Structure 1
Amino acid sequence: MLKIDPTAQVSPLADVEASVRGTLIAIGAHSVIDSFVKIKPAGGNGNLVIGEHVVINSGCVLYTGQGIRIGNHVAIAANCTLAPVNHAYQDRSRLIREQGFLPGRGGIVIEDDVWIGANCVLLDGAVLRRGCVVGAGSLVRGELAPYTVYGGQPLRVLGERQ
């Protein structure tokens, strides 16, 4: 089921697939889904619930998998991947793509007032508590405490003295 609040803006160049399993994809009030965002129900029966005043920038991919819950006032920069799903691979006598999926680790939870930098990957079991900032290029697969700044190293200006 696909529910988009009338005040939300979904680019005509975004690709939001409806679930064939009947799971919910909900986009809250005043949220923005930019061009070239891909939302794909795959890898589980989880819902995707996007809160209010959320911005998901161009090139992001969200697989519903075991579920994604995004709070309010969240900013997700370009080219991020949210993948709350894990392929099974243990049976060497079968191709990985034929083995289905492993049990979930709770999906992905992003609380209110979170900023996720460009090119980040969030995996099944990621929990970003209120006020987190995730630096560009980070991989998150566990829980970040409230108001944590995570990932990357401080930038050094060329020629700067140590």
Structure 2
Amino acid sequence: MQKDSSKLYKLLHNPFLYFFVFFRALKTILLYPIHLLLFKKIGFLSYISLRSSIRNHKHISLGKKVQINPFVTLWPLKLEIGDHTQINPGTSIYGIVSIGENVMIAPNCMIAGGNHNFLQTDIPMILQGSSEKGIIIEDDVWIGANSVITDGVTIKKGSIVAAGAVVTKDTEMYSINAGVPSIIIKFRKK
């Protein structure tokens, strides 16, 4: 027990930790005016890594304290993200997507709010365009690592999508969904 508290003491009294936290906060505040010019709407204290890939800035609205970490790809037609939402490295978001408040999106998720047209066999698929129904992710949702959310799906409030799940249909409120394709394995509420 003494060793654990000694390690914690050293960590909390490490000046580099405080320097890193201060530097990140300062960078977020200094970049805020630039982000205001780039994005349709951006809430105060939202963090956007310079190592993320973002297209169509003017079609993105971010709430307060949104965290977009390095290596996130945002190439939406329209994207709205609520307050206190976190998107972790390797996640890609395309098409039309609406994400609520207090949402956690783990690393390497694919959220594709659109689909390629492919019915005509005399025209290459790449030339057939696309269709977008959109994806809605409601408040207080946790999407596990390596998950895939397909076009037209609504992830209801309080849902959990387990790691590696492929969601092809709407979830139910407070459900835990797993598998390929995903199914409800239980509910959070008793």
Q: TM-score range by the shorter chain?
A: 0.7 to 0.9
Supply the RMSD in Å over aligned alpha carbons: 1.7
Give, in whole Å, the separation in 2 of the partners of 1:52 and 1:146.
Answer: 20
* 2:42 counterpart of 1:15: no
Give, in whole Å, the separation in 2 of the partners of 1:69 and 1:127.
Answer: 9
* 2:96 counterpart of 1:61: no
Write the deviation string for residues 65-88 of structure 1: whole angstroms up to 9, x where unpaired: 2x1110000000000011011111
- The equivalent of 1:32 in structure 2 is 67
Give the C-alpha shift of residue 139 in structure 1: 0.7
**Where in structure 2 are there 5+ consecutive unaligned residues?**
1-37, 186-190
Give, in whole Å, the separation in 2 of the partners of 1:114 and 1:7.
Answer: 21
Once superposed, which parts of structure 1, at least 4 consecutive aligned residues long, lie more than 6 Å away?
none
Give the C-alpha shift of residue 27 in structure 1: 1.4
Please list, as runs of the form range in 1=range in 2, the aligned pairs for 1:39-58 lying within 5 A after superposition: 39-41=74-76, 46-58=77-89
- The equivalent of 1:147 in structure 2 is 174
- Whichever residue aligns with residue 33 of structure 1, its letter is I
Give, in whole Å, the separation in 1 of the partners of 2:127 and 2:140.
Answer: 39
| Larger-Rg structure | 2
**Where in structure 1 are there 5+ consecutive unaligned residues?**
155-162
Q: Which has the higher contact order (CA 8 A, sep 6+)?
A: 1
Give the C-alpha shift of residue 4 in structure 1: 2.3
Structure 2 SS opposite 1:90: coil
Give the C-alpha shift of residue 135 in structure 1: 0.2
More helix by share: 2
Normalising by the residue count of structure 1, what TM-score does the alignment of the two structures yield? Answer: 0.82
Give the C-alpha shift of residue 6 in structure 1: 2.9
